[in-house]
Amino acid sequence: QSVLTQPPSASGAPGQRVTISCSGSSSNIGRNLVNWYQQLPGTAPKLLIYSDNLRPSGVPDRFSASKSGASASLAISGLQSEDEADYYCAVWDNSLNWVFGGGTRLTVL
Amino acid sequence: QAQLVQSGGEVKKPGASMRVSCKASGYVFPNFGVYWVRQAPGQGLEWLGWISGNNGKTKYAQIVQGRVTMTIDKSTATAYMELRSLTSDDTAKYYCARGAAGAASTMAFDIWGQGTMVIVSS
């Protein structure tokens, strides 16, 4: 069981907007910066969002993220077929470990 | 461009040890650290630890504390992870990723290796 809670699945039609939630606690999301990773099928994870809401160079602005209290969320607008992947949130926990969410599999209908 | 290239897959017997390498290129190795993460088949990501590329300082996850050793070779810009006393629960793809040089907690995992599959089976 993961320290961070994500829905196991999400879906949306092309062009739609979807959000993926990540719920934690005051020892992790509540006090440290959240990162999001995208893992396309059969590939290594890729950094998608860092420091709560910043995009690395090359990540489309269709991807955005936010945080409130001990919860964070990732939003994908203008959904495309290539967005079909697993998405993970991650944050440093004050138990002195990085912790990941269990992952959300996004299906583009 | 910056990249991490890992060693090839391994098959190990229970009780044996594994060692995975992660060679960095395209950036100044001592200016960053290396995280290690694993992913069991069909499962999520699990952090194993961090090592500084500058001074070899380490921080290990509680789940592998006592069984893991992470090292670096600055001359070849390579990080290594050794995991001992393997069980079937250690069957996973092991990834290295770039991090901060100064502390385990301060930087996102911004570049990832391609992963190394390790199978533990009798």
Q: pLDDT tens digit string along B16-60?
A: 999 999 999 999 999 999 999 999 999 999 999 999 999 999 999
Could you tell me how many residues make up chain A?
Answer: 109
Token digits of residue A62 = 């269709």
Residue pair B22/B35 in contact by the 8 Å Cβ criterion: no
Distance of alpha carbon B104 from alpha carbon B122, whole angstroms:
35
**Chain-chain contact of A47 with B109 (C-beta, under 8 angstroms):** yes
pLDDT for the residue B104: 80
- Residue A60: other Cβ atoms inside 10 A: 12
pLDDT for the residue A42: 94
Calculate Rg over the CA atoms of chain A: 13
A24 CB within 8 Å of a chain B CB: no
pLDDT for the residue B106: 81
**Chain-chain contact of B45 with A37 (C-beta, under 8 angstroms):** yes
SS3 B62: coil
**Chain-chain contact of B108 with A50 (C-beta, under 8 angstroms):** yes
Tell me the pLDDT tens digit for each residue of B50-94: 999 999 999 999 999 999 999 999 999 999 999 999 999 999 999
pLDDT bin (cut points 50, 70, 90) of residue A95 is confident
Report, as an integer, the average pLDDT of A87-95.
95
Q: Exposed, middle or buried, B81 (CB in 10 Å: 0-12/13-18/19+)?
A: buried
Distance of alpha carbon A71 from alpha carbon A61, whole angstroms:
21
CA of A48 vs chain B CAs: smallest distance (Å): 9
| Closest residue in B to A47 (Cα–Cα) | B110
Calculate Rg over the CA atoms of chain B: 13
